[in-house]
């Protein structure tokens, strides 16, 4: 794949008409990260994304990019909201897989001797693992309300309070959700999964604020060095996965009807004003609301575990939502393109919205650190208000398990000061620190490029995985 350097942290895949590219590709990376990116099919997938009808400006890649389904993880494409297309594969299977950060009134040194009991209690209370089911079973009417209202439903049902909603992207719910567009199979997969963490790279992590880079921004968010925080990373579970599966089939069958040709059927799409696209967007928004509600229920149960395990009253714990961000989502937004304000459908697959002043949560691996950033005006100009979403994998799960053979990852993490609990036999091996790029390198690039700036670094103390 031909790649041109156009700046210290910006590379371009030239528009190639023979490939059907309608715009160029842009990759945000430094010299070290670009070598890692070249090692898989990510760049080819970005070039494929540039063929989508109605795409504007460029198909973009964040520095945590790695090969995915259709569009790479870490990809951003924006299509015209009236004349473009919607592509489920450019959004992803785990719709609104997102990250929530909770702040507390506790100092990490004050609870160090109780951390083992705390992580055991969290692991016992929060369902993890493939196909995990929670204590909630939703009847059809209750599930409809979850899909319509998102986190607001959870608060109304007693899982948290209304102040939580003020600190969630989109208030914890997307307008335009259509529960009837979610298939019976998807609904069945989701009705017992609300309040579950799942598997893979999903986690709940107890952390401490290790370094503050931007004092005023950290204070505005209620964060200080030595403070205990909790990060929750999960999404819409089996319901969202099935929504994507269903509509990949629907849009794939519709390609010929609309005269659309794509180089990879994993990027199957439909015109935004078509029945197929409208149906998908309604279902996608419903799945996104399920994910917001899921993280809200997990927040409530986390508060309860802290109270029981540590013996503090809620006021002493002071557990509050710092922010909750979504990735694997499409949103209709207004952006400037070539000097003109336009309505766009911004597909962010493994990328996070980074509007000016908005907190951005960037998980790393469970052995090193995660970051809190703030979005910038420059992100609006350069990347449709988008930035990275994590460290990005450097080893497949199969390769990670092979590399971990004969090792005891939990013991290695304990020696680093991190307590780990997991359900799956290979869960810790699949997610071991070496399986990921160093998130410091990813964050350094987006900070220097100016699409999000560092506020604080968060060190893991204990983690539960699926």
Report the percent of the chain where pLDDT is more than 70: 100
Q: Would you list the domain boundaries of the chain?
A: 4-465
CB < 8 Å & 24+ apart, contacts of 138-143: 138/190, 138/191, 138/192, 138/194, 139/191, 140/187, 143/179, 143/187, 143/190, 143/191
Return d(Cα 225, Cα 265) in angstroms, integer.
48
Q: What percent of the chain has pLDDT over 90?
A: 95
The H-or-E segment that residue 371 falls in is strand 370-375
Reported confidence tier of residue 82, pLDDT bands at 50, 70, 90 = very high
3-state secondary structure of 254: helix
Which of 167, 389, 408, 440 is catalytic? The answer is 389
**pLDDT at position 424, please?**
80
Backbone dihedral angles phi then psi of residue 210, each to the nearest 5 degrees:
-85, -40
In CATH terms, is domain 4-465 a member of 3.90.1860.10? yes
**pLDDT at residue number 202:** 95
pLDDT at 455: 98
Question: 250-264 pLDDT, tens per residue?
Answer: 999 999 999 999 999
Q: How confident is the model at residue 168 (pLDDT cuts 50, 70, 90)?
A: very high
Rounded distance between C-alpha atoms, residue 320 and residue 106, angstroms: 12
pTM: 0.97
347 classed as catalytic: no
């Amino acid at each position: 794949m031909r790649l041109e350097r156009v700046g210290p942290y910006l590379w371009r895949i030239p528009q190639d008409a023979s490939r059907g590219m309608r715009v160029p590709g842009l990759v945000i990376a430094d010299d070290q990260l670009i070598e890692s990116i070249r090692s898989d099919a990510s760049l080819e997938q970005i070039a494929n994304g540039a063929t989508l009808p109605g795409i504007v400006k460029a198909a973009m890649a964040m520095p945590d990019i790695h090969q995915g389904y259709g569009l790479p993880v870490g990809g951003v494409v924006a299509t015209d909201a009236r004349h473009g297309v919607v592509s489920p594969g450019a959004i992803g299977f785990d719709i609104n897989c997102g990250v929530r950060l909770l702040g507390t009134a506790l100092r990490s040194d004050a609870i160090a001797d109780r951390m083992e009991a705390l992580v055991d209690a969290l692991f016992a209370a929060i369902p993890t693992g493939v196909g995990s089911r929670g204590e909630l079973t939703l009847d059809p009417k209750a599930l409809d309300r979850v899909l319509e209202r998102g986190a607001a439903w959870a608060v109304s049902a007693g899982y948290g309070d209304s102040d939580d909603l003020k600190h969630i992207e989109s208030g914890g719910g997307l307008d335009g959700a259509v529960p009837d567009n979610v298939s019976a199979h998807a609904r069945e997969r989701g009705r017992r999964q609300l309040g579950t963490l799942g598997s893979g790279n999903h986690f709940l992590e107890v952390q401490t604020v290790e370094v503050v880079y931007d004092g005023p921004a950290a204070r505005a968010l209620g964060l200080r060095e030595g403070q205990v925080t909790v990060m929750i990373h999960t999404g819409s579970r089996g319901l969202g996965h099935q929504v994507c599966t269903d509509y990949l089939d629907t849009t794939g069958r519709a390609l010929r009807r609309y005269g659309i040709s794509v180089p990879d059927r994993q990027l199957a799409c439909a015109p935004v004003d078509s029945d197929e696209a409208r149906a998908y967007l309604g279902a996608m928004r419903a799945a996104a609301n399920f994910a917001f509600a899921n993280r809200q229920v997990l927040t409530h149960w986390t508060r309860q575990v802290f109270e029981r395990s540590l013996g503090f009253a809620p006021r002493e714990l002071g557990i509050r939502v710092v922010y909750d961000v979504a990735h694997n989502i499409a949103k209709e937004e207004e952006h400037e393109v070539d000097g003109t304000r336009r309505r766009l459908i911004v597909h962010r697959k493994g990328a996070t919205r980074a509007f000016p002043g908005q907190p951005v949560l960037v998980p790393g691996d469970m052995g090193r650190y995660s970051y809190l950033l703030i979005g910038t005006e420059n992100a609006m100009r350069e990347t449709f208000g988008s930035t990275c979403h994590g460290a990005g994998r450097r080893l497949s799960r199969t390769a990670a398990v092979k590399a971990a053979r004969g090792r005891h990852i939990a013991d290695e993490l304990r020696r680093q000061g991190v307590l780990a609990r997991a359900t799956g036999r290979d869960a810790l091996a699949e997610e071991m620190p070496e399986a990921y790029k160093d998130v410091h390198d990813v964050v350094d690039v987006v900070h220097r490029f100016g699409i999000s700036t560092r506020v604080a670094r968060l060190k893991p103390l204990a983690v539960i995985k699926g």
